[in-house]
Structure 1
């Protein structure tokens, strides 16, 4: 099965498997330089900084990977392509090249903020005798070694053009990195690749893990990650370099195979291991369209090494050629999946498949304006040992990078020297037996035919273990053989998260769940050190011991964002959803209005409420959003008779906020000839529906000057504490409910959710409503909300094939003392089930929905995000989480004078696909149905309302009939 690699022009895409691995390492390392790529260029002249800035802009425009940010959404890592923006070029006066190199090495080791989208930095040193110096630092998630040549080539072309004030002549690249990532993910799921993964895992199973050299001084690390490291170079003598090409030809092997054989021999010499694995870093660019593209394509390919000292170097090369050909033909097999497959067979959980790496690379050449780039160390190591073969023009150098916690410089030196000796002997006599020039290896390490998978005889769970097991179940869900929450008792203490089907991003999700449930902050590193039930239980206990529960001090902050606020902050990162989470109110005033007094009243109210002065930022160390409330308030604007009123209001109501820098509210007064309009647009992250009414009431009071305004309430002082202990109860109540019911869509969903909407409405009629209330309210004790949800479910069942529906609805969350006058975001999202299966009567269905709604209210403080993650539907970005349906019940608002009526927002944006608002208007009930115009035609929306009216008639006529 083949998947097409093509240009998609998408700004959001899943990260590639390789990017996901690097991202997790960054998360577990807490600001490491392990995957920084510092490129140091010594120029032969003075740098024109303006031309350099223009050249960088061209390169960043041309290669989307250089302007991509990363965020997690529903346990998936996404890459977000941003608009081109050149990072500030720092210019420093230099006094000596030695100091410049030291400073460049230091700056090359400063960590990146991957969520912020800055993956490239630039520094220029001026004033050196022979020319300036330039440091480009790029994160490895955006480029690999192959990428360096096209990056510098494009930079050179663009720089030359900028000096002449011209646009560089360059064809558009056929694909971008996001296109590769989509292809990469799709290919990994094809039956052919999955079959190859299993086949290759079976081949690697018998090779024992963790190659250890004589002189090793620590415990083997857990694979790739952040560790202290050092590099040491070993130049290959020119006479050996000159003869290696001829040796490759005579043995009919590639230079890669030649080096692979030499590395095997040197590792055998100092490990004594006859059979072992080495991880080769491969380019993984199997399409011509990828050759000139900057991005992270490299993959780790485990190569099997089977040594015998009686072999000659020529024979070893022939064996290496066979293994390399077999392995490198599958270099697109995702390394993480391969590792997981082998570990699952071994029963070893999450352990390294290879801990010694090997890479053969050609370094970029120089340019007319600069010398070949110099390598700078970041004082970190990616493996226990990494052997790097660098080809720079006609020179060869071996670089050994090693973990200084595990190996000494002496051990590294012996390995490098042996590698040079092997090559020197090989070019002289490739048929000479290896043992004649390798010497005696240390005592040969015995290997087994592979570890035996562990049985499930671990200890039974203690109380501490049980909550850890429940966290396992909360995120593993149906991906685990322990599919139900109740089965947590069946897990043993040594049950391993990764053996049960977990993966790295799910581990991060689980730790976030632990924070929500228990208020503890666990780093991925703490969990990955022992990814078992017992290990997580120990980490939870340790984190609780560290935690000091501070008293709530309601100052300006920083305050941790609530669960809902964190969700809204994340949704604001998605361009297509940003307008949906604004809450515009447009009210009309008629008659004689003192517009200056109105402006003062609005400004007074906006400046009083701390929530409206919030600024939100992400604490990357804690992986949590915080806000402060001491920034400048919003100021009301006044617009005189705009040329196009609709366009003006649309701009006011739909323009997103920069939540880190702007007040999360705007107000505008439109002055027309016969009336005045006040538009108030807060972000949903700081207000709910109740808050909007509080604001209008207080603005009216301030304008009329006929009363005192209530003292402002800080939202942190009255926020209802969340209760994550009831997630299991909610999940059990909803288990089996369809999260994607059949709906009468006129068009299929797109890749990204559309929020543009329209609305239609109908009145039930006073007599019909009275008859329904006699039964539903008088006999069964149902609220208007329960009636509305029941009718919506019945209307949907008559319009499509579904008989079971899950509806989201809001809960005010204002039970705390003092919350009535607070402006803030206190709403939580709850879920109610309308289940028409089993042919219930109207009475029975109303009772079902009533009881389910009561259960939802009992667990009303359970964070919605926790429920989403526990139910864990495999959502894409084209629809809301858990359900596309939303219902709410409200009363017709009483507008305080001088406001006379509300105007509907135009354009309308909604958060779900269908939203029903039941509005009590006196003795009548208006059913307003908002629908996503990307999915439904107006005709279909009217059809749903017709079905709802018909259901209303049936219920009122005979409550003992079936819906």
Structure 2
């Protein structure tokens, strides 16, 4: 910006109402370089990881559905282009400016919907194609032949979205596609703000009290040292392989009844079961489990696509060979306080706790447990898209492991289901099965025998 431009800007600002002028000045002051805005803490870590390993696809968020009926390709292009124009984060480039990463919002443009032949290899290649975050849109879409139907495959880099965002995306896609077919404007409420405003707000927020609590709770926590089957690589790498788990509804219900007796939630009971299974396998009673949380603490964030999700580190205390009931009682207070302090970005917690750095392992939390059923899903699992019938497909697996063991678990009418994703550079298929059996066995036995000690539960798979 030239000195003359600045003079004209000052004159224009002087003519604005005071409240609007103050808000605009605050936003301008946060720009790093011209049109570059700061990254949120979560985005900054994802940007660093992409620079560390540009081929890593572990942070690709994927969703695909099968479309039945006559698909209008031009309508899909128009619909996705309207969504990307509406959500700035989906048309943002991530660049290094003045030795710091910044996000630069591009002008709206037409979003291609690639046409592809069918076949598992084609789908896998599309999903696992790395993003160049400095050049590419952080979203790409393909329409893939699938017999008499089509697969609509959407891939978004986590730097621009989270699991909650998929529900928003599908809701707006349905409205925009229907609007195109009906030759009208989409009926979508105006967005209260853009993701870059969240990034500025998060950077300004004072987190010291939260960080002090995390530091007190997590300082000195040991690494979880699960026994590996292969030599650990010096640098984190490895394909992800899924081991499916299932616990019947009756056993799940008994665990939930136990949780209520101990004034705990279903979430707490399942996390404790996961902690216990990992601890028993590692022979450890002190370590952390990472748990993703939505991170949308303000109502204005709900309708936005963006990277709001955060990870909290839940420290396990399995000391003294406790019963499962005792574990729930131990966990309740710390878990509640962890949730109260969940807004502190994981990256800032890492900086405050300063765990020993080891490029061969994820920092602080070597394993992660994600309970997914509490996320909004009404539109994610919708059955129509305009005049098309929609069939939900099983989420495609990523090729890159995000943790040594990463649990994606849900609760539905059939009980507990999902999978444990493990790093196959570290663990054999037999060990992967052991992970699944240990977790599902603990969920089953803890509800039926809550007063048995963990040493007795170890063999109940």
- TM-score normalised by length of structure 1: 0.41
Alignment RMSD: 2.8
Answer whether contact 2:143 2:152 (CA < 8 A) is retained. Answer: yes
Q: CA deviation at 1:217?
A: 3.0
For 1:366 and 1:396, how far apart are their aligned partners in 2?
22
Alignment of 1:112 with 2:131, yes or no, is yes
- Partner SS state of residue 381, structure 1: coil
Alignment of 1:28 with 2:25, yes or no, is no
Q: CA deviation at 1:383?
A: 1.6
Q: Which residue number in structure 1 is paired with residue 192 of structure 2?
A: 174
Q: Which residue number in structure 1 is paired with residue 161 of structure 2?
A: 143
Q: From the CA coordinates, give the structure whose radius of gyration is larger.
A: 1
Q: Which residue number in structure 2 is paired with residue 254 of structure 1?
A: 265
For 2:217 and 2:254, how far apart are their aligned partners in 1?
35
For 1:381 and 1:297, how far apart are their aligned partners in 2?
21
Q: Which residue number in structure 1 is paired with residue 8 of structure 2?
A: none
- Partner SS state of residue 353, structure 1: coil
Q: Which residue number in structure 2 is paired with residue 77 of structure 1?
A: 101
Q: CA deviation at 1:437?
A: 2.2
Per-residue Cα deviation, 1:167-220 (whole angstroms, up to 9, x for no partner) = 111111112110110011111xx3xx2243234223211211x21223453337
For 2:258 and 2:110, how far apart are their aligned partners in 1?
47
Q: Provide structure 2 residue ranges, at least 5 long, that are not aligned to the other structure.
A: 1-21
Alignment of 1:214 with 2:223, yes or no, is no
Per-residue Cα deviation, 1:104-145 (whole angstroms, up to 9, x for no partner) = 12210000111114111111123623x221111111111111
Compared with structure 1, are the counterparts of its residues 250 and 45 closer, same or farther at alpha carbon in structure 2 (3 Å cutoff)? farther
Per-residue Cα deviation, 1:777-835 (whole angstroms, up to 9, x for no partner) = xxxxxxxxxxxxxxxxxxxxxxxxxxxxxxxxxxxxxxxxxxxxxxxxxxxxxxxxxxx
Answer whether contact 1:285 1:291 (CA < 8 A) is retained. Answer: yes
Answer whether contact 1:309 1:433 (CA < 8 A) is retained. Answer: no
Q: Which residue number in structure 2 is paired with residue 386 of structure 1?
A: 406
For 1:214 and 1:309, how far apart are their aligned partners in 2?
21
Answer whether contact 1:260 1:320 (CA < 8 A) is retained. Answer: no
Per-residue Cα deviation, 1:542-565 (whole angstroms, up to 9, x for no partner) = xxxxxxxxxxxxxxxxxxxxxxxx
- Partner SS state of residue 244, structure 2: strand
For 1:347 and 1:270, how far apart are their aligned partners in 2?
23
For 1:47 and 1:247, how far apart are their aligned partners in 2?
49
Q: Provide structure 1 residue ranges, at least 5 long, that are not aligned to the other structure.
A: 442-963
Q: Which residue number in structure 1 is paired with residue 145 of structure 2?
A: 126
For 1:157 and 1:251, how far apart are their aligned partners in 2?
45
Compared with structure 1, are the counterparts of its residues 247 and 85 closer, same or farther at alpha carbon in structure 2 (3 Å cutoff)? farther
Query: Which structure's relative contact order is higher, taking Cα pairs within 8 Å and 6+ residues apart?
Result: 2
Alignment of 1:823-862 (within 5 A): none
- Partner SS state of residue 71, structure 2: coil
Answer whether contact 2:62 2:155 (CA < 8 A) is retained. Answer: yes
For 2:429 and 2:320, how far apart are their aligned partners in 1?
26
Compared with structure 1, are the counterparts of its residues 221 and 245 closer, same or farther at alpha carbon in structure 2 (3 Å cutoff)? farther
Q: Which residue number in structure 2 is paired with residue 200 of structure 1?
A: 214
Q: Which residue number in structure 1 is paired with residue 454 of structure 2?
A: 434
Answer whether contact 2:367 2:404 (CA < 8 A) is retained. Answer: yes
Compared with structure 1, are the counterparts of its residues 90 and 392 closer, same or farther at alpha carbon in structure 2 (3 Å cutoff)? farther
- Partner SS state of residue 231, structure 2: coil
Q: CA deviation at 1:418?
A: 0.9
2:251 maps to which of 237, 240, 244? 240
Compared with structure 1, are the counterparts of its residues 75 and 233 closer, same or farther at alpha carbon in structure 2 (3 Å cutoff)? same
Compared with structure 1, are the counterparts of its residues 278 and 93 closer, same or farther at alpha carbon in structure 2 (3 Å cutoff)? closer
Q: CA deviation at 1:242?
A: 5.5
Answer whether contact 1:269 1:439 (CA < 8 A) is retained. Answer: no
1:327 maps to which of 315, 338, 363? 338
Per-residue Cα deviation, 1:907-944 (whole angstroms, up to 9, x for no partner) = xxxxxxxxxxxxxxxxxxxxxxxxxxxxxxxxxxxxxx
Q: Which residue number in structure 2 is paired with residue 340 of structure 1?
A: 351
Q: Which residue number in structure 2 is paired with residue 270 of structure 1?
A: 281
Answer whether contact 1:313 1:426 (CA < 8 A) is retained. Answer: yes
2:381 maps to which of 332, 343, 365? 365
Compared with structure 1, are the counterparts of its residues 389 and 309 closer, same or farther at alpha carbon in structure 2 (3 Å cutoff)? farther
Answer whether contact 1:220 1:384 (CA < 8 A) is retained. Answer: no
Compared with structure 1, are the counterparts of its residues 241 and 63 closer, same or farther at alpha carbon in structure 2 (3 Å cutoff)? farther
Q: CA deviation at 1:393?
A: 7.2
- Partner SS state of residue 115, structure 1: coil
Q: CA deviation at 1:45?
A: 2.5
2:443 maps to which of 423, 430, 434? 423
Compared with structure 1, are the counterparts of its residues 215 and 114 closer, same or farther at alpha carbon in structure 2 (3 Å cutoff)? closer
Compared with structure 1, are the counterparts of its residues 348 and 402 closer, same or farther at alpha carbon in structure 2 (3 Å cutoff)? closer
Compared with structure 1, are the counterparts of its residues 421 and 69 closer, same or farther at alpha carbon in structure 2 (3 Å cutoff)? same
Q: Which residue number in structure 2 is paired with residue 103 of structure 1?
A: 122
Q: CA deviation at 1:423?
A: 1.1
Aligned residues between the structures: 423
Answer whether contact 1:221 1:384 (CA < 8 A) is retained. Answer: no
Per-residue Cα deviation, 1:817-868 (whole angstroms, up to 9, x for no partner) = xxxxxxxxxxxxxxxxxxxxxxxxxxxxxxxxxxxxxxxxxxxxxxxxxxxx
Q: CA deviation at 1:246?
A: 4.5
For 2:324 and 2:275, how far apart are their aligned partners in 1?
11
Q: Which residue number in structure 1 is paired with residue 19 of structure 2?
A: none
- Partner SS state of residue 288, structure 2: strand
For 1:52 and 1:394, how far apart are their aligned partners in 2?
35
- TM-score normalised by length of structure 2: 0.84
Q: CA deviation at 1:33?
A: 1.2
Answer whether contact 1:68 1:80 (CA < 8 A) is retained. Answer: yes
For 1:183 and 1:66, how far apart are their aligned partners in 2?
19
Compared with structure 1, are the counterparts of its residues 240 and 371 closer, same or farther at alpha carbon in structure 2 (3 Å cutoff)? farther
Alignment of 1:314 with 2:325, yes or no, is yes
Alignment of 1:579-594 (within 5 A): none
Q: CA deviation at 1:82?
A: 1.3
For 1:358 and 1:257, how far apart are their aligned partners in 2?
11
Answer whether contact 2:441 2:460 (CA < 8 A) is retained. Answer: no
2:419 maps to which of 365, 375, 399? 399
For 1:394 and 1:68, how far apart are their aligned partners in 2?
41
Alignment of 1:271-670 (within 5 A): 271-308=282-319, 310-343=321-354, 352-362=363-373, 364-368=380-384, 369-391=389-411, 396-439=416-459
Answer whether contact 1:69 1:118 (CA < 8 A) is retained. Answer: yes
